[in-house]
A and B are shown apart, each in its own frame.
Chain A
């Protein structure tokens, strides 16, 4: 007869808590940046590349300037500066000067003829400042005696922007929105004007004005 031994064993197994519990958290951090941004576009909000074709400018018996304009949209999220630089006048088919004058950059008035900052999403209390001489918002200088009316040092012409020259500046332009937004831009209209005269004939003349907008 074998001897039975009974061992009473009370075993308690402790289940360790799992890593998960009735609550868990995680985080998602959203980050980014919004750089200083400004844009100068045409009135269709695409890249500005306009040609102002003044046509054949035959001298007349009046003091009527031939004018042209290019409408631009300016947007920025901080203060801005617009500067302009014109290339030298180039001619094709130029006739002999024969003691007369050829058209010069100084015969072509250039500046701002209108600045409209009334759109809904233009920044509050926005202001624009047109550089001295480039403000033609009240109209062009009237010609007299059939001659160029622009006075050097007073009425700006393309001759005043042969190097990159500030023509306009201002405070922040846009409250919000982007380049597709139809009410967050200041509409700046640039104008050129010249009086047809007996300048040396040519087939074509041209100068390209490069406008540069910065948000320094």
Chain B
């Protein structure tokens, strides 16, 4: 009989918490908001653009052939933008015959436009690497003279300066909030490419791919 009483007491004690007059419960919500940054095209899609410069016949002027690519940068912390260009590849390259072939140093690359504005853009700064070499072409490209490449090695940024992954810009946090479809939380960045058509060794095509990497270290 005594043994049965002890067993009953133990069972009551076990159920006491659920039958008391007050009880508490907890819901724990957890997650993370990682450092995040994105670089997209102007449609907010992955950036994968081809700049087709066409057939570059020499002319009797000092007019550069240029092109631009606009991107959108977003981040929730300070960022670094770097670029790396693959080696120039050619198809149908003719015999050099004592002349020069187009080189990475003949193709300027840099930033021609940068706009940090928008309701949900954080107040801050963006700093384009001015080196030398400088990747800041917002003031325009150097003017050619005498029909020759105007970009000075070590002074004006070209694809030759991007043989390895190279920082070209950095800045403070960009986006106040929003995500990659938000229309007012990004920096508009325009990259420019320029070269002067010359009597370089003829070819069927030439190309180089520039990989842009945005990090939020």
- Residues of A bordering B, CB below 8 Å: 3-15, 17-37, 39, 41, 45-46, 75-79, 121, 123-126, 171-184, 215
Contacts and interface: CB of A to CB of B under 8 A. Distances in A.
A183 B198 CA distance: 13
Given A4-B19, A77-B201, 6 more contacts: A10-B26, A22-B216, A30-B67, A34-B102, A34-B206, A178-B198
A22 B36 contact: yes
Contact of B202 (A27, A34, A124, A126): A34
B59 A10 contact: no
A182 B144 CA distance: 13
Contact of A45 (B19, B41, B48, B60): B60
A23 B213 contact: yes
B74 A20 contact: yes
Nearest to A6: B23
Contact of B193 (A22, A30, A184): A30
B48 A27 contact: yes
Contacts of A125: 98
Contacts of B102: 34
B199 A29 contact: no
Interface residues of B, number: 87
B53 A32 contact: yes
B131 interface: no
B31 A174 contact: no
B210 A27 contact: yes
A32 to B, nearest CB: 3
Interface of B: 17-41, 46-62, 65, 67, 69, 71, 74, 94-100, 102, 107, 146-149, 159, 179-180, 191, 193, 196-217
Nearest to B204: A33
A31 B53 contact: yes
Considering the complex of A and B, which 7 residue pairs feature the smallest CB-CB distances, nearest first?
A26-B47, A15-B31, A6-B23, A172-B97, A32-B53, A181-B147, A179-B60
Given A4-B19, A20-B180, A184 B51 contact: no
Given A176-B99, A180-B61, A29 B212 contact: no
Contacts of A15: 30-33
Given A25-B39, A29-B207, A30-B107, A178 B30 contact: no
A46 B59 CA distance: 10
A8 B24 CA distance: 8
B80 to A, nearest CB: 10
13 contacts: A8-B26, A21-B34, A21-B36, A27-B212, A28-B210, A31-B206, A32-B52, A32-B65, A123-B99, A177-B198, A178-B61, A179-B147, A183-B146
A121 B200 CA distance: 11
Contacts of A180: 59-62, 146-147
A123 B101 CA distance: 11
Given A13-B30, A22-B35, A28 B212 contact: yes
A14 B204 CA distance: 53
